[in-house]
Amino acid sequence: MKILSAFVMILVLAKGCNSSELRKESENISFEYEATTRGNYRKIIAKQDTIFTIKSRKGEAVEKKLSRSDWNSMLDLLAKIDKGNMQNLKAPSEKRFYDGAMIAGLTVIYKQDTYKSNSFDHGNPPEEIKKLVEKIISASDLNKE
């Protein structure tokens, strides 16, 4: 039982270290969420203290201050994701194949590396990145008119 407790404690500390490492590298991290169809375009770019929302291909980027708590939540959610496996995540639905949903994707830029997800239906991301995508969208002005 002591061995199991020690193992669990090591796992918890390792996850905490990953999250705190991300916070130290915060200025070197950005998130990009993009959703598109033939007639629509949406893009969100989140950086350490700013989030940009673009609602059309020729639209202006709307800049908004990103709260520290929203940013830290994004970093905590990122720490739980295997960034190197993002391109292998399977979308839970396929409405984008017949124009039933916008084609969406998430890109994480961390230091010099870029991690991209496979495409998925806007509003229905793979489970592994769902909370992060929802956090990015809720922090933006995407759903506000």
Q: Is the pLDDT of residue 15 over 60?
A: no
Contact 104, 19 (CB under 8 A): no
- Of all residues in the chain, what percent carry a pLDDT higher than 70? 82
Hunting for tokens 């993002």 — which residue is that?
86
pLDDT digits (tens, 9 = 90+) for 69-106: 999 999 999 999 999 999 999 999 999 999 999 999 99
Residue 64 CA to residue 53 CA, distance in Å, equals 8
Nearest to 34 by CA among 46, 26, 22: 46
**Per-residue pLDDT, 19:** 60
Residue 59 CA to residue 52 CA, distance in Å, equals 12
Domain map (residue ranges) of the chain: 2-139
Residue 90 CA to residue 118 CA, distance in Å, equals 7
Q: Which fold has domain 2-139?
A: Mago nashi protein (3.30.1560)
- Of all residues in the chain, what percent carry a pLDDT higher than 90? 75
**Per-residue pLDDT, 13:** 41
Residue 109 CA to residue 131 CA, distance in Å, equals 18
Hunting for tokens 């020690």 — which residue is that?
6
Using a cut of 0.95, tell me whether the model's pTM lies above it: no
